[in-house]
Protein backbone atom coordinates (compact mmCIF):
# COMPACT_ATOMS: atom_id res chain seq x y z
CA UNK A 1 0.00 0.00 0.00
CA UNK A 2 1.32 3.45 -0.90
CA UNK A 3 0.90 6.13 1.75
CA UNK A 4 0.47 9.70 0.53
CA UNK A 5 0.60 12.62 2.96
CA UNK A 6 -2.21 15.19 2.99
CA UNK A 7 0.29 17.82 1.83
CA UNK A 8 1.18 15.63 -1.17
CA UNK A 9 -2.53 15.27 -1.94
CA UNK A 10 -2.88 19.06 -1.85
CA UNK A 11 0.04 19.29 -4.30
CA UNK A 12 -1.61 16.82 -6.65
CA UNK A 13 -4.90 18.72 -6.51
CA UNK A 14 -3.04 21.93 -7.30
CA UNK A 15 -1.19 20.34 -10.22
CA UNK A 16 -4.47 19.05 -11.61
CA UNK A 17 -6.17 22.42 -11.21
CA UNK A 18 -3.30 24.18 -12.97
CA UNK A 19 -3.26 21.61 -15.77
CA UNK A 20 -6.96 22.22 -16.32
CA UNK A 21 -6.50 25.99 -16.30
CA UNK A 22 -7.74 26.39 -12.75
CA UNK A 23 -6.75 28.96 -10.19
CA UNK A 24 -3.07 29.73 -9.73
CA UNK A 25 -3.31 29.12 -6.02
CA UNK A 26 -4.77 26.61 -3.66
CA UNK A 27 -7.09 28.21 -1.14
CA UNK A 28 -6.20 25.51 1.34
CA UNK A 29 -6.63 21.89 2.16
CA UNK A 30 -9.03 20.89 4.87
CA UNK A 31 -8.07 19.14 8.06
CA UNK A 32 -5.27 20.04 10.43
CA UNK A 33 -2.13 17.93 10.45
CA UNK A 34 1.02 18.21 12.53
CA UNK A 35 3.66 20.48 11.06
CA UNK A 36 6.64 18.35 9.96
CA UNK A 37 9.70 18.04 12.18
CA UNK A 38 12.14 20.64 10.85
CA UNK A 39 15.11 22.69 11.92
CA UNK A 40 15.40 26.11 10.31
CA UNK A 41 18.74 27.95 10.19
CA UNK A 42 18.09 31.67 10.62
CA UNK A 43 20.11 34.46 9.06
CA UNK A 44 21.87 35.13 12.36
CA UNK A 45 23.03 31.49 12.46
CA UNK A 46 20.64 30.47 15.24
CA UNK A 47 18.20 27.61 14.80
CA UNK A 48 14.47 27.27 15.22
CA UNK A 49 12.60 23.98 15.20
CA UNK A 50 9.02 23.09 14.45
CA UNK A 51 8.57 22.48 18.19
CA UNK A 52 9.44 26.17 18.76
CA UNK A 53 6.32 27.15 16.79
CA UNK A 54 3.98 25.69 19.40
CA UNK A 55 2.12 28.20 21.53
CA UNK A 56 1.85 30.77 18.72
CA UNK A 57 -0.06 31.04 15.48
CA UNK A 58 2.71 31.03 12.87
CA UNK A 59 2.83 31.82 9.18
CA UNK A 60 5.58 29.77 7.49
CA UNK A 61 6.28 31.26 4.07
CA UNK A 62 8.52 29.52 1.52
CA UNK A 63 9.73 32.20 -0.87
CA UNK A 64 12.58 33.39 -3.09
CA UNK A 65 14.03 36.77 -3.95
CA UNK A 66 13.66 35.86 -7.64
CA UNK A 67 9.92 35.16 -7.27
CA UNK A 68 7.85 38.13 -8.47
CA UNK A 69 4.75 37.08 -6.50
CA UNK A 70 6.84 36.54 -3.36
CA UNK A 71 8.31 40.03 -3.56
CA UNK A 72 4.87 41.52 -4.31
CA UNK A 73 3.20 39.84 -1.32
CA UNK A 74 6.00 40.60 1.16
CA UNK A 75 4.64 44.04 2.22
CA UNK A 76 1.31 42.33 3.07
CA UNK A 77 3.14 39.63 5.05
CA UNK A 78 5.00 42.38 6.92
CA UNK A 79 1.73 44.25 7.62
CA UNK A 80 0.07 41.03 8.82
CA UNK A 81 3.01 40.28 11.10
CA UNK A 82 2.97 43.78 12.56
CA UNK A 83 -0.81 43.69 13.06
CA UNK A 84 -0.84 40.45 15.08
CA UNK A 85 2.65 40.04 16.59
CA UNK A 86 1.63 41.34 20.03
CA UNK A 87 -1.23 38.81 20.19
CA UNK A 88 0.78 35.58 19.88
CA UNK A 89 1.40 35.54 16.13
CA UNK A 90 4.73 34.96 14.42
CA UNK A 91 6.12 34.73 10.90
CA UNK A 92 8.94 32.60 9.54
CA UNK A 93 10.11 33.32 5.99
CA UNK A 94 12.03 30.37 4.53
CA UNK A 95 14.17 31.20 1.50
CA UNK A 96 14.44 28.38 -1.03
CA UNK A 97 17.70 26.46 -1.49
CA UNK A 98 18.35 27.98 -4.93
CA UNK A 99 18.18 31.54 -3.59
CA UNK A 100 21.73 32.91 -3.12
CA UNK A 101 22.22 33.62 0.61
CA UNK A 102 23.68 37.06 -0.13
CA UNK A 103 20.46 38.00 -1.98
CA UNK A 104 18.34 36.83 0.94
CA UNK A 105 20.43 38.75 3.49
CA UNK A 106 20.35 41.88 1.32
CA UNK A 107 16.58 41.62 0.84
CA UNK A 108 15.92 41.08 4.56
CA UNK A 109 18.15 43.98 5.55
CA UNK A 110 17.03 46.52 2.93
CA UNK A 111 13.32 45.75 3.56
CA UNK A 112 13.90 45.56 7.33
CA UNK A 113 11.88 42.36 7.60
CA UNK A 114 10.48 42.35 11.17
CA UNK A 115 10.34 38.55 11.47
CA UNK A 116 12.65 35.55 11.37
CA UNK A 117 14.18 34.62 8.02
CA UNK A 118 15.71 31.21 7.37
CA UNK A 119 17.71 29.91 4.43
CA UNK A 120 16.91 26.35 3.40
CA UNK A 121 20.42 25.67 2.04
CA UNK A 122 19.94 21.94 1.53
CA UNK A 123 16.27 21.97 0.54
CA UNK A 124 15.46 19.71 3.52
CA UNK A 125 12.82 22.08 4.90
CA UNK A 126 11.01 22.40 1.57
CA UNK A 127 11.12 18.59 1.20
CA UNK A 128 9.77 18.03 4.72
CA UNK A 129 6.89 20.47 4.21
CA UNK A 130 5.42 18.52 1.29
CA UNK A 131 8.20 18.88 -1.27
CA UNK A 132 7.57 22.60 -1.77
CA UNK A 133 8.69 23.62 -5.26
CA UNK A 134 6.34 26.44 -6.16
CA UNK A 135 6.83 29.83 -4.53
CA UNK A 136 5.29 31.36 -2.65
CA UNK A 137 3.93 28.46 -0.67
CA UNK A 138 2.62 29.46 2.73
CA UNK A 139 1.41 27.43 5.69
CA UNK A 140 -0.61 28.69 8.63
CA UNK A 141 0.20 26.73 11.79
CA UNK A 142 -2.01 26.87 14.88
CA UNK A 143 -0.88 27.08 18.51
CA UNK A 144 -0.78 23.28 18.75
CA UNK A 145 1.74 23.05 15.90
CA UNK A 146 -0.77 21.84 13.31
CA UNK A 147 -0.99 23.10 9.74
CA UNK A 148 -4.52 24.42 9.29
CA UNK A 149 -4.18 26.08 5.90
CA UNK A 150 -1.83 25.98 2.94
CA UNK A 151 -1.63 28.54 0.17
CA UNK A 152 0.24 28.29 -3.11
CA UNK A 153 0.49 31.76 -4.59
CA UNK A 154 -0.53 34.93 -2.81
CA UNK A 155 -3.20 34.34 -0.16
CA UNK A 156 -6.43 36.30 0.06
CA UNK A 157 -5.17 38.44 2.93
CA UNK A 158 -8.66 39.44 4.16
CA UNK A 159 -9.58 35.75 4.52
CA UNK A 160 -6.15 35.01 6.03
CA UNK A 161 -6.67 37.73 8.66
CA UNK A 162 -10.07 36.26 9.57
CA UNK A 163 -8.49 32.83 10.04
CA UNK A 164 -5.62 34.29 12.10
CA UNK A 165 -8.18 36.03 14.35
CA UNK A 166 -10.03 32.75 14.83
CA UNK A 167 -6.83 30.82 15.61
CA UNK A 168 -5.57 33.48 18.02
CA UNK A 169 -8.86 33.23 19.93
CA UNK A 170 -8.41 29.47 20.45
CA UNK A 171 -7.01 28.30 23.77
| Spans of all domains in the chain | 6-169
For residue 31, name the pLDDT band (cuts at 50, 70, 90).
low
CATH topology of domain 6-169: Glutaredoxin (3.40.30)
- CB distance 47 to 116 below 8 Å: no
Q: How far apart are the first and last CA of the chain?
A: 38
pTM: 0.82
Bridge partners (DSSP) of residue 122 are: none
pLDDT tens for 87-138 read: 999 999 999 999 999 999 999 999 999 999 999 999 999 999 999 999 999 9
pLDDT of residue 19: 37
- Mean of pLDDT values over 69-95: 98
For residue 171, name the pLDDT band (cuts at 50, 70, 90).
confident
Amino acid sequence: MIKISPVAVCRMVLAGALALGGAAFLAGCSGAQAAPESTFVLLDGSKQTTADLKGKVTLVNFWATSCVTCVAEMPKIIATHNKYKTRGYDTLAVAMSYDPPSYVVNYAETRQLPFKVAIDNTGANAKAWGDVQLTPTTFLVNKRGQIVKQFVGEPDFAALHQLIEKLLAET
